Structure 1
Amino acid sequence: MTEVLYIHPESPQPRLIRQAVDVLRKGGLIAYPTDTTYALGCSIGEKNALDRLIRLRRLDKKHQFTLLCEDLSALAIYAKVANPDYRLLKAHTPGAYTFILNGTTEVPRRLMDPKKRTIGIRVPDHAICQALLAEHGQPIMTSTCHLPDDEFPLTDPQDVRDFLQGQVDLVIDGGFGGVQETTVISLVDGEGPQVIREGAGPIDSIF
């Protein structure tokens, strides 16, 4: 049975945030709103929850996973960042961007690209996300709530509840989400930013 919590998108109720984080800490898989679309998330290192997410989205081994971070303080732990790249990240976070970076040994191998050893880093501009991350005290493994065979990610909380019933442990209903996913920028090869996917984050300010 999937639990549903109705959390205010601008003033998240601390009691409900604690309930949601308790689900994460117990190894659960949650669906939650972000500053772009709804997303699926679990704690780092929770293999069973990650396996459920992979099956739910039918992801292959080449899928690039992302760590949802409260701020850039997690970079030193999970990613390798050159000074010019750090300035770029700082100028565009929080926001609707995912940055692909070389991962460190702190990132579980199954979360990284198996050949390139890269990981996505995202700092969301959304009160519910920020409250979850602050309460959790560590990044959340995250992936867009985009179901197989669907043209677009889920954005209506009623659809999220209906389609994910019994497949996730918790749905956070924080109102309607956006229809565009994040803009994905790779900073892996040291030759400046490369746009992997244009999405909600404007690219004109990247270059």
Structure 2
Amino acid sequence: MAEFIKIYEENPNPKEIAKVVKVLKAGGLIIYPTDTVYGLGCDINNVKALERVARIKNVKLEKSNFSFICEDLSNLSDYVKQIDTSTFKILKRALPGPYTFILPGAKSLPHPFKKKKTVGIRVPNNSIAIEIVKHLGNPIISTSIHDDDEVLEYTTDPELIYEKWKDIVDLVIDAGYGDNHASTVIDLSEGDPIIVREGKGSLEIF
């Protein structure tokens, strides 16, 4: 059964963050807060964990559209082909924030994503997510958790999330109520921005 731990966003407790990182390093799956909805994630470099997430989401790993949660834009080049100045300016303006940017994938992507032409990059404005990635030393993948009905209701109450997911994942973080608006998804892989999904992030970043 999954661990259920309380972490406060104002001042994430390093001991609790270390527990989360330990679970990720051991190939565990976590549910954690972002600046939008709660996400399901694992270490980007752990193929077995990635496969577990793909099975839960009922997709083939190599065809999955998981986002990469990064600490900041500094190690973007590990996952993204070189981007032009105007694209970088948009990223700088918008991040950290409630956006997912689709960018051209680099040749150095982790093995399961090698054939992906594009990747979704997130730098959430949430200190818990950022601390986890910082202490892990590399991104985690992220996919949102919705309720089963197709209305795509996002579960915002950590206790309800825990009830539903406690036998599926290894750790659930309770950081208080989450949001029920997903991130705004913007495709920058072809140059001009294409709005794929309008979510929480304002479109006034262009």
For 1:157 and 1:105, how far apart are their aligned partners in 2? 37
Partner of 1:99: 101
For 1:177 and 1:62, how far apart are their aligned partners in 2? 28
For 2:65 and 2:8, how far apart are their aligned partners in 1? 30
Partner of 2:205: 206
Partner of 2:2: 2
Alpha carbon RMSD of aligned pairs, Å?
A: 1.6
Would you say the 8 A contact 1:66–1:142 is kept in 2? yes
- Map Cα deviations across residues 100-119 of structure 1 (whole Å, 9 max, x no partner): 0011122135347x5x6110
The 3-state SS of whatever aligns with 2:121 is: strand
Would you say the 8 A contact 1:65–1:111 is kept in 2? no
For this pair of structures, how many residues does the alignment match? 203
Alignment of 1:133-152 (within 5 A): 133-150=133-150, 151-152=152-153
Would you say the 8 A contact 2:79–2:106 is kept in 1? yes
Shift of 1:44: 1.1
Partner of 2:92: 90
For 2:100 and 2:42, how far apart are their aligned partners in 1? 17
Partner of 2:30: 30
The 3-state SS of whatever aligns with 2:74 is: helix
Q: Which amino acid aligns with 1:188?
A: S
Q: Which amino acid aligns with 1:90?
A: K
Normalised by the length of structure 1, the TM-score is: 0.92
Partner of 1:57: 57
Shift of 1:137: 1.5
Structure 2 residue 112 is the aligned partner of structure 1 residue 110: yes
Would you say the 8 A contact 1:100–1:188 is kept in 2? yes
Shift of 1:17: 0.3
Structure 2 gaps of 5+ residues are none
For 1:171 and 1:155, how far apart are their aligned partners in 2? 13
Q: Percent identity?
A: 42
The 3-state SS of whatever aligns with 1:142 is: strand
Shift of 1:62: 4.0
Alignment of 1:49-198 (within 5 A): 49-59=49-59, 62-80=63-81, 81-111=83-113, 117-150=117-150, 151-190=152-191, 192-198=192-198
The 3-state SS of whatever aligns with 2:97 is: coil
The 3-state SS of whatever aligns with 1:40 is: strand
Change (3 A) 1:152 1:62: farther
Q: Which amino acid aligns with 1:83?
A: T
Shift of 1:147: 4.7
Normalised by the length of structure 2, the TM-score is: 0.92
